[in-house]
Amino acid sequence: MNFIYELPLSVRDYELDVQGVVNNAVYQNYFEHARHEFLKHIGLNFVELHAKGYDAVVHKIEIQYKKPLLANDEFVVKVAVEQEGALRFVFHQQLVRASDHALTTTAKVTSVFMTNGRPIRPPEEVLAAVKAHQQTD
């Protein structure tokens, strides 16, 4: 996988659940935040796209939980992206623990752009930004 973006993060205590590990749902926050930061990195902005009427929407997500994250853990969220057909982007994401470089969690996220509730071809600015970034990295 050709990861083109990495976001360093660390576990916050309020993200832990009664088992003393990061709650499963919180990983979706981590993965989403890394995708949105990646978009900013290539000149796009999720909230501004929404204001223009373009909503990037997750169609499907598959997460594999290999090892739990614990209090004080630091980690990196890696992002790769590929276009699938005319309408979809597929993000491949990996969460790697800083202390031992263990791969703790993976995600495959299929997303589409919607306008007024209908899937559309991604906006030109998005296609251009993704393409330009993939060429130069």
Residue 91 vs residues 34, 59, 110: alpha-carbon distances, Å = 11, 11, 6
Site string for a copy of itself, 19-38 (x = CB under 8 A): xx--xxxx-xx--xx--x--
The DSSP-derived string for 13-79 is: GGGB-TTSBB-HHHHHHHHHHHHHHHHHHTT--HHHHHHTT-EEEEEEEEEEE-S--BTT-EEEEEE
Site string for a copy of itself, 38-77 (x = CB under 8 A): --x----xxx--x----x-xxxxxxxxx--x--xx-----
Of 13-21, 75-83, 87-95, 127-135, which part binds a copy of itself (CB under 8 A)? Answer: 13-21
Chain residues binding a copy of itself by CB under 8 A are 12-14, 16-20, 23-26, 28-29, 32-33, 36, 40, 45-47, 50, 55, 57-65, 68, 71-72
